[in-house]
Structure 1
């Protein structure tokens, strides 16, 4: 059977929405068909089984979590200093809050990956590649800090986002923007004069 790529992607997107709303236990072909608004039996024509659905969702979810290039271009017009790192971290929280279902689905996929070797391999490859891209971006942009700075920001922000999107009342006594600012100040070194001077001459 000839399959439509756009429909396949729509079914994977529907899988991600079902995971976020119903959890892995609620993921069925029928639920995916209903979420995608397609006839019953459509998903089973595109995917072999639930494992296949989960693996495809693991491969696609990073595309839904990522920023629009135009948004990053706008943010990166600022000097490369701690304030810019703070702004980038705030943007991550805003984006993940706006697309909450994507991150909740990712949490479901992480849990399922502990029981499904193929999904674990797929998700590990995806997240490792994302972390490597984040490190490369940070260093190439001349932002303050090094590889370890990015790793620590990644680990700290992962915990913050999980708390914020699942049990927000835990952090209620602590203003979110202040927490991000403290995190960035503790992890990110002050920009050197050389770095700031370089940023000022970077072409926009």
Structure 2
């Protein structure tokens, strides 16, 4: 297997774009090569098979949607209160909206995981680990609420993100900020 990290990342980015646009059935080595603008056969030199491509694409999506540490550092200068959680949720929506293909590709991978047990196991581990890390982060930073608060906030924000990225007219873009404020106000305790 070829080990050029920059090319592997470019191929994973191309796979994300293909997944977001064509869905899992459209994710082929040829489609990835075409999206990346590389000769046919390049992706198959980097990924052992379709399952490997799916797994690596999932891993790369999580890398792409990871918060920027500098932005987090800036936000975390504020007091540990509901307003900070609200600001963090606004930042989450900004980041996800900025990488719409990445999140849509993750949704496609979740659907594909219902048909592929190995992918399901991997995604379950990854998403569970991310949720646990978010819970630990929230509690470790002294943000208001407990484990259940974070889980309910995660579920509410996941639903909001799904609507916003797939059928934005349902909720309307204009009311998105107010919805985030309401979600946090209803879920996160004041103190």
Report the Cα distance in structure 1 between the residues aligned to 2:173 and 2:20, rounded to whole angstroms: 27
Partner of 2:41: 41
* Structure 2 length-normalised TM: 0.95
Partner of 1:168: 168
SS at match of 1:78: coil
Partner of 2:183: 183
1:102 equivalent to 2:102? Answer: yes
Partner of 2:20: 20
RMSD over aligned CA atoms reads 1.4
Partner of 1:141: 141
1:130 equivalent to 2:130? Answer: yes
SS at match of 1:144: coil
Q: Which moved more, 1:168-177 or 1:118-127?
A: 168-177
Q: CA deviation at 1:174?
A: 7.0
Partner of 2:65: 65
Report the Cα distance in structure 1 between the residues aligned to 2:97 and 2:3, rounded to whole angstroms: 34
Report the Cα distance in structure 1 between the residues aligned to 2:126 and 2:10, rounded to whole angstroms: 20
Q: CA deviation at 1:173?
A: 8.4
Report the Cα distance in structure 2 between the residues aligned to 1:6 and 1:120, rounded to whole angstroms: 27
Partner of 2:89: 89
Q: CA deviation at 1:129?
A: 1.1
Gaps of 5+ in 1: 192-204
SS at match of 1:3: coil
Query: How has the CA–CA distance of structure 1 residues 145 and 176 changed in structure 2, closer, same or farther, with 3 Å as cutoff?
Result: same
Moved over 3 A (4+): none
Q: CA deviation at 1:11?
A: 1.3
Provide the aligned length of Structure 1 versus Structure 2: 191
Q: Indicate conservation of the 8 Å contact 1:59/1:122, yes or no.
A: no
Gaps of 5+ in 2: none
Report the Cα distance in structure 1 between the residues aligned to 2:145 and 2:80, rounded to whole angstroms: 11
Q: Indicate conservation of the 8 Å contact 2:2/2:46, yes or no.
A: no
SS at match of 1:143: coil
